[in-house]
Amino acid sequence: MDRFLFLTVDGLTHGAVYSAFALALVLIWRGTRIVNFAQGVLAVATSYLAYTVTGRSGSYWLGFLAALLAGLVLGAVVERLVMHRVAGAPPLNAVIVALGLVLVVQGVLGMIYGNQYLPFPAPFDRSAMTVGGVPLVSRFDLFVFGTVVLLMIVLALLFTRTAIGLRMRAAAFAPSVARLLGVRVGRMLTLGWALAALVGALAGMLVIPTGLGLHPTAMDTVFVSAFTAVVVGGLDSPAGAVVGGMLVGLVLSYVAGYLGAGTAPLAVLALLVVVLLVRPAGLFSGPQARRV
Amino acid sequence: MSDLLEVEGLTAGYHGVPVLHGIDLRVPAGTICAVLGANGAGKTTLLRALSGLIRPSTGRIAFDGADLGDLATERLVRRGIGHVPEGRGVIAELTVEENLMLGGAWRLGWAGVWGAARAGLRRDVAEVYQLFPPLAARRRQPGHQLSGGERQMLALGRALVGRPRLLLLDEPSLGLAPRVVAQTMALLRQLCEQTRLTVLLVEQNVRSALSIADQGVVMSLGRVVAAGDARRLADDADLRHAYLGF
């Protein structure tokens, strides 16, 4: 039972990060119908910036802030300079461009920082605190969980309580109608990318300290897990992304804990296949229109 | 009465193929102008050109005396041109209240959480609820749950929240029961008289449109073939038989 509790808490903590990352993917999908395969590498790039800033200033939090700001700027720049040019083109174009971006950014990061794993600090102690005699949760886990919950609340307020959120949703759901109502759709899409990259940067800062360290491919497996979370929850559903992320986190934790870490990737794939077979649009998808 | 909208020699179309050929049009402020004609006459294309959704290849569009040039649709909304497209354009995923707020959201700043502008917008939305009481009862429901008539109310109400001076209405009677059509038309007339709203009304329902319009324009194959007082157009038997089908 102790082990089960530990694995559940561990799964939820990792799942929270997958949820945040999945949310970033959903933000872009809803606005542009593009699965941003470059999401992971953008997060890695911002983490490298945080690494540099932290190294030079000696302040983790200055690096943390730099990563978030860089995410915001990088997302906007990528949308304006790269993805904007394939908007309206066949979907495969955007996928290929995003994959190309992954290769370019990974290559550039490797050239600047090298291809070895760099130690990435965590702002809080990662050793588990004992609750009722069971080593359960670390301060860093609590920080991760609290940050992701705060992020969810802020995003929910942004989209449901502010005019800019309303405009962003309108631009995503019905761009041509939104334009007729004075919404600057292009700006909203850029803002959506910026916001998604900021969320991705945050997820990177939360998950990289729990892995081997900083590396140009550090977010690849996280991306796969988050992508699975999005498919499980439904590409159009922010709530689905959150639940999907938690589910993937729990599955990974239980399988790694009971069957061995080597089997965890297979479990994620199995989950992906089951959802695609049983409910291809995701667990939280709305009713699908059928043209007759 | 001064002209709010002046169109001279307007030519526009899609992918280099012109649909409108040298359209001339003048709409005085505070009046309703019905744009009539068979399918394919270019009525919807005319509205799309006026609201900046398609770029004219030649010609001039002036609004309140100022040349609109190549202004984007979003900027035209800020100048006071509202467009309710064919099919109404209700955003199905947003609630009734969100659809209405969106109509005037461009007046708010980046956040738009509080402030005088938001209070003004709330007042405008409340006025729409007074105008269309069924919408007030459904304010929390998503757009896809509304009937055709309610969608029409919502589309019209949302456009009014944007405080337009010129309202471009594309087939507002499409798919509606005759009683709802009559109510909508009566409301448009009332709005024009009370608020000096100017309306360019594209309609297939010729009788309804001419019954409330001050003037009419008949189009055929992208050209204006007749224009003038609405009552005179309705009384012209030759014109009715040739172009209006009644």
At B209, list the tokens: 């449109």
Instruction: Dump pLDDT digits (tens) for B191-238.
Output: 898 888 999 999 888 888 998 999 999 999 999 999 999 988 888 777
Q: Is B1 within 8 Å of chain A by CB?
A: no
Query: Of A194, A227, A223, which is closest to residue A106 (Cα–Cα)?
Result: A223
Q: Are A181 and B81 spatial neighbours (Cβ–Cβ below 8 Å)?
A: no
**Residue B36 — φ and ψ, nearest 5°?**
-120, 160
Contact assignment for A179 to B106 by CB distance below 8 Å: no
Query: Smallest CA–CA separation between B58 and chain A, in Å?
Result: 22
Mutate to test the interface with B, among A158, A169, A180 (most CBs of B within 10 A): A180
**Length of chain A, in residues:** 292
DSSP one-letter code for B68 = -
Measured between beta carbons, the chain A residues lying within 8 angstroms of B102 are 166-167, 170, 178, 181, 183
Quick one: chain A helix, strand, coil %, rounded to 5?
75, 5, 20
Q: Is B78 within 8 Å of chain A by CB?
A: yes
pLDDT at B91 over 60: yes
Query: Of B45, B50, B44, which is closest to residue B17 (Cα–Cα)?
Result: B45
**Residue B59 — φ and ψ, nearest 5°?**
105, 180
Tell me the HSE value of B194 on the side-chain side, using a 13 A CA sphere: 7
Question: For a pLDDT cut of 70, what percent of chain A falls above it?
Answer: 97
DSSP B185-233: HHHHHHHHHHH--EEEEE-S-HHHHHHH-SEEEEEETTEEEEEEEHHHH
Q: Is A248 within 8 Å of chain B by CB?
A: no
Contact assignment for A163 to B108 by CB distance below 8 Å: yes
Among A54-58, B86-90, B240-244, top mean pLDDT goes to A54-58
Q: Is A279 within 8 Å of chain B by CB?
A: no
Q: Is A163 within 8 Å of chain B by CB?
A: yes
Measured between beta carbons, the chain B residues lying within 8 angstroms of A177 are 85, 89, 91
Q: Is A287 within 8 Å of chain B by CB?
A: no
Measured between beta carbons, the chain A residues lying within 8 angstroms of B113 are 161-163
**Of A29-33, B41-45, B94-98, minimum mean pLDDT range:** A29-33
Q: B109-113 — which CB contacts under 8 Å span 24+ positions?
A: B109/A163, B110/A163, B110/A164, B111/A162, B111/A163, B111/A164, B112/A162, B112/A163, B112/A164, B112/A166, B113/A161, B113/A162, B113/A163
ipTM of model? 0.89
Query: Smallest CA–CA separation between A157 and chain B, in Å?
Result: 10
> Domains of chain B (ranges plus CATH)?
3-244 (3.40.50.300)
Contact assignment for A163 to B83 by CB distance below 8 Å: no
pLDDT at B110: 64
Contact assignment for A183 to B112 by CB distance below 8 Å: no
Q: Is B118 within 8 Å of chain A by CB?
A: yes
Instruction: Dump pLDDT digits (tens) for B1-26.
Output: 688 999 999 999 999 899 999 999 99
pLDDT at B90 over 70: yes
Mutate to test the interface with A, among B98, B102, B163 (most CBs of A within 10 A): B102
Query: Of A255, A276, A278, A287, which is closest to residue A10 (Cα–Cα)?
Result: A255
Q: Are B152 and B172 spatial neighbours (Cβ–Cβ below 8 Å)?
A: yes
Measured between beta carbons, the chain B residues lying within 8 angstroms of A166 are 94, 98, 101-102, 105, 112
pLDDT at A104: 96
Q: What are the residue ranges of helices labelled H in A60-184?
A: 60-81, 91-113, 139-161, 163-173, 175-180
Q: Are B98 and B122 spatial neighbours (Cβ–Cβ below 8 Å)?
A: no
Radius of gyration for chain A, computed over Cα atoms and rounded to the nearest angstrom: 19
pLDDT at A289: 45
Q: Are B199 and B33 spatial neighbours (Cβ–Cβ below 8 Å)?
A: yes
Contact assignment for B162 to A167 by CB distance below 8 Å: no
Go through A173-193 and write b for each residue having 16 or more CB atoms within 10 A of its CB, e for each that does not. Answer: bbbebbbbbbbbbbebbbbbb
Residue given tokens 């910036």 in the structure block? A49
Query: Smallest CA–CA separation between B170 and chain A, in Å?
Result: 13
**Residue B158 burial (CB count, 10 A):** 29
> Which residue of chain B is at minimal alpha-carbon distance from A179?
B74
Q: Please name the helix (run of DSSP H) or strand (run of DSSP E) that holds residue B24, with its range, or none.
A: strand B17-28
Question: For a pLDDT cut of 90, what percent of chain A falls above it?
Answer: 59
* Residue B10, helix vs strand vs coil: strand
> Which residue of chain A is at minimal alpha-carbon distance from B103?
A181
Q: Report residue B141's pLDDT band, with 50, 70 and 90 as the boundaries.
A: very high
Contact assignment for B112 to A163 by CB distance below 8 Å: yes
Amino acid at A189: L
Q: Please name the helix (run of DSSP H) or strand (run of DSSP E) that holds residue B106, with its range, or none.
A: none
* Residue A110, helix vs strand vs coil: helix
Report CA-CA distances (Å) from B92 to A170, A210, B84, B139.
10, 42, 15, 13
Measured between beta carbons, the chain A residues lying within 8 angstroms of B79 are none
Instruction: Dump pLDDT digits (tens) for A123-145.
Output: 898 888 887 777 778 999 999 98
**Of A28-37, B35-44, B190-199, minimum mean pLDDT range:** A28-37
Q: Is B174 within 8 Å of chain A by CB?
A: no
Residue given tokens 């009525």 in the structure block? B43
More confident residue, B83 or B236: B83
pLDDT at B86: 85
- Which of B78, B93, B101 has the CB atom closest to A182's CB atom? B78
Q: Tell me, rounded to whole angstroms, the distance of Cα B32 from its chain centroid.
A: 10
